[in-house]
Amino acid sequence: MEQSFSSDTRCEVRTAAGIVRGRFERGVAVFRGIPYAEPPVGVRRFMPPVSVVGWEGVRDAVAFGPRVPQAGNRGSVMDSVSGCVGDGSGDCLTLNVWSPDLGAVNMPVMVWIQGGTYLENDSGNPHCDGAGLAAAGVVVVSMNYRVGMDGFGRIAGVPDNRGILDQVAALRWVRENIAGFGGDPGNVTVFGQSAGGACIAALLVMPLAAGLFRRAIIQSMAGTCFSPRLAGAVSDAIAGRLGVRATVAELAELTPRALIEASGAVLAGMPARLREWGPMALTPTPFSPVVDGEVLPCAPWRGIAEGAARGVDVLIGHTRDESRLYMSRPAGELTEARVAAAFDHLSPGSDGRAVYRDAYPAATVSERFEILHSDWLFRMPALHLAEAAHAGGGPVWMYELAWGFNAAQGSSHCLDFLLVFGTLGPDEVRAHPRAYPDAAAEIGEVARRMRGDWVRFAADARPGWPRFDRRARTTRVYDAESITRAYPEEASRRIWSGHRFGTLDLRPG
């Protein structure tokens, strides 16, 4: 690829589709809103991504591309069924590149896959600004991908997991074009958090993604995958609210806004479907990757244990207090019914409440409720995936973030990626009404250590501590004083040691 520089802030790179013009910002070359696939509108709306058609001349790449359809999106794409989107808001399958040196050769590449409960995705989120990471010596890429019914709903007549297929398309773009931005297409690390981390776990066992990345960092992965039957039941419920069937022909007559609103209504009523839909009804989303046997041949734990990711270096972990963020929000009273439903349907064994009471005798009922949710949805799926990677013969490293800056949220879900990107600063910490006295002074060092370890891992798979195995369970624990020790959540590990994570299905009957 060709690149050119000038004495002002502009910079240009030739990609396979055409020339893009970005600009230098604080010493980093930034290109925003580069299309990697054709707009997913009209006849392409529910189809796999289609490679972008090239353009003549120079395309400005200084503004983030439009968000994919999701709640809060005000673009005209939200009300279109024809694909005629006059304001350009349908051109949403775009990516962004931050490069510290366009003239470099073979810098490590880090591709960020953002989370958002499979309902939200916006690569323009300022908390995911790649400039800080890029300044540490890597080329950073982020992307938009389809979410909600368009990206993850099971629809008769089209492939499942279209949002993950968008990610595959973006990774192919990286392989074909990243050298022009100073990156090494043979040294790509995908990293993502929550739903983004779960998508990476799926990518590790997807044949279509084989060879597109060398390393993977999985942060706080959401540990749910759906069977076709369960995903189909969810889609039928969403379509049924609009009086149609979940087929391409009938859903194509509905606007994205209508499907998003119907999905929100189904989400609100999910707890009432617990006996039919099982534990997924207690999660914050009606969507997850679908184990369809084609795009996603099996659940990640099984495929990775069987060696599907043997050639990929994996770094995986979670925060200590994953669910504290959600429990701290005003979501209604913690009733006996909510507690009973959680322990009856989420915990392993026949008497989960007693098991957690014995394992955590000093905890209150609400604290055990929180620990259970953290274990079931985030912590234990991550631990078991690390164990699967080791069993499958691949190199794997484990971490836990134990540092937090306020008493209300602790080391909560999402805090890890804010530290890695460096987009949560001392002033914001200091302004929190329940901030710990030393937190503002500590955050810079904790963030620097995590970011440095992530960059070293992306460069040569040496994050700075020994590999994980099922005997020693060596784990890097990030805190004000970080240490390396055996996996710290031993009580929960023992509870879940006999459980096997896999594909969630409809309940019988």
Q: How far is residue 364 from each of residues 216, 319, 322, 354, measured CA to CA in Å?
A: 37, 20, 17, 13
Confidence of residue 408 (pLDDT cuts 50, 70, 90): confident
How crowded is residue 241: how many other Cβ atoms within 10 Å of its Cβ? 17
pLDDT at residue 7 in the model: 39
* Tokens 């000093």 sit on residue: 362
Q: Which residue of the set 318, 373, 390, 413 is catalytic? A: 413
% of the chain surpassing 90 pLDDT:
93
How crowded is residue 176: how many other Cβ atoms within 10 Å of its Cβ? 16
State the Cα–Cα distance between residues 396 and 298, nearest whole angstrom: 20
Would the pLDDT of 473 be above 60? yes
Would the pLDDT of 332 be above 60? no
Would the pLDDT of 491 be above 80? yes
Would the pLDDT of 330 be above 90? no
Q: For the segment 269-280, what is each residue's pLDDT rounded down to a tens digit?
A: 999 999 999 999
Whole-prediction pTM value? Answer: 0.96
Chain CA centroid to CA 382, Å:
13
Mean pLDDT of 315-336: 81
For 439, the 3-state DSSP assignment is helix
State the Cα–Cα distance between residues 238 and 260, nearest whole angstrom: 9
322 as an active site residue: the answer is yes
State the Cα–Cα distance between residues 224 and 68, nearest whole angstrom: 23
Q: Which residue of the set 38, 322, 387, 489 is catalytic? A: 322
Q: For the segment 16-66, what is each residue's pLDDT rounded down to a tens digit?
A: 999 999 999 999 999 999 999 999 999 999 999 999 999 999 999 999 999
State the Cα–Cα distance between residues 475 and 467, nearest whole angstrom: 8
DSSP 8-state code for residue 321: B
Confidence of residue 173 (pLDDT cuts 50, 70, 90): very high
Q: Which residue of the set 80, 89, 194, 263 is catalytic? A: 194
Mean pLDDT of 471-497: 97
pLDDT at residue 85 in the model: 87
Mean pLDDT of 276-301: 97
How crowded is residue 268: how many other Cβ atoms within 10 Å of its Cβ? 10
Burial of 333 (0-12, 13-18, 19+ CB in 10 A): exposed
Confidence of residue 83 (pLDDT cuts 50, 70, 90): confident
pLDDT at residue 331 in the model: 54
Would the pLDDT of 508 be above 90? no
Would the pLDDT of 334 be above 90? no
Q: How far is residue 95 from each of residues 19, 141, 204, 393, 412, measured CA to CA in Å?
A: 15, 7, 21, 33, 28
pLDDT at residue 370 in the model: 95
Decide the pairing of beta strands 474-478 and 313-319. unpaired
Confidence of residue 328 (pLDDT cuts 50, 70, 90): low
Confidence of residue 6 (pLDDT cuts 50, 70, 90): very low
Q: Which two tokens stand for residue 196?
A: 């983004």
Give me the chain's average pLDDT, please. Answer: 95
State the Cα–Cα distance between residues 88 and 90, nearest whole angstrom: 5
State the Cα–Cα distance between residues 16 and 55, nearest whole angstrom: 10
pLDDT at residue 354 in the model: 95
Q: For the segment 128-157, what is each residue's pLDDT rounded down to a tens digit?
A: 999 999 999 999 999 999 999 999 999 999
Supply φ then ψ for residue 476, to 5 degrees: -85, 120
Amino acid at 472: A
Confidence of residue 2 (pLDDT cuts 50, 70, 90): very low
Q: For the segment 195-222, what is each residue's pLDDT rounded down to a tens digit?
A: 999 999 999 999 999 999 999 999 999 9
413 as an active site residue: the answer is yes
Q: For the segment 301-325, what is each residue's pLDDT rounded down to a tens digit?
A: 999 999 999 999 999 999 999 998 7
445 as an active site residue: the answer is no
Would the pLDDT of 450 be above 90? yes
Decide the pairing of beta strands 313-319 and 396-401. parallel
pLDDT at residue 3 in the model: 46
Confidence of residue 335 (pLDDT cuts 50, 70, 90): confident
